[in-house]
Amino acid sequence: MESSKRIDEMIAGLADWRGRIIADIRKTIQEADPEAVEEWKWMGTPVWCHDGNVCLANAHKQWVNLVFSHGAGLADPHKLFNAFLDGKVWRAIKFVEGDKVNGPALKTLVQAAVLLNMSKAAGKGSKTKARKPAKGSKRRAKGNSAGLR
């Protein structure tokens, strides 16, 4: 099954606020980087990739985590990061019931994460802007990712 369909099913299976939060996160990521590739990793985790992992979402019973793979290297002017703050690499945004996704601020953070990945890939001699989708993965949207190049 394609990764995007698995993510659709996961969101549909979370019929409470957690499903809505992940759907809002997903939409914001797609708007921020139309070239992002959706993958299904680690036995049930939606991951958005562009020249490497950008972020992943985990639904827990009382919260949803949006984890940025290289969040420690990102500026966070809107103070979205509120979890994993002591780590050397990862940073997360923890959503609880009643929280809303700050779309404009999250877009800025996603775009910064993509730019960081692209700069790391360029340093390794990468010739592609977005990595190839893994088997079963699918690009969710097409178009120009203005501001990311």
pTM for the full model? 0.82
Residue pLDDT, tens place only, 17-63: 999 999 999 999 999 999 999 999 988 999 999 999 999 999 999 99
| Contact call for residues 33 and 114 (beta carbons, < 8 A) | yes
- Residue 74's domain comprises 3-126
Q: Does residue 136 fall inside a structural domain?
A: no
| CATH number of the domain that residue 69 is part of | 3.90.1150.200
Q: Does residue 8 fall inside a structural domain?
A: yes
**Which is more confidently placed, 95 or 132?**
95
Q: What is the pLDDT of residue 80?
A: 98
- Measured at the CA of 11, the angle between CA 68 and CA 90, to 5 degrees, comes to 10
Could you give the CA distance from residue 38 to residue 24 in angstroms, rounded to a whole number?
15
| Percentage of residues of the chain with pLDDT beyond 70 | 83
Could you give the CA distance from residue 41 to residue 26 in angstroms, rounded to a whole number?
16
Tokens coding 110: 């996603």
Q: Which amino acid is at 92?
A: A
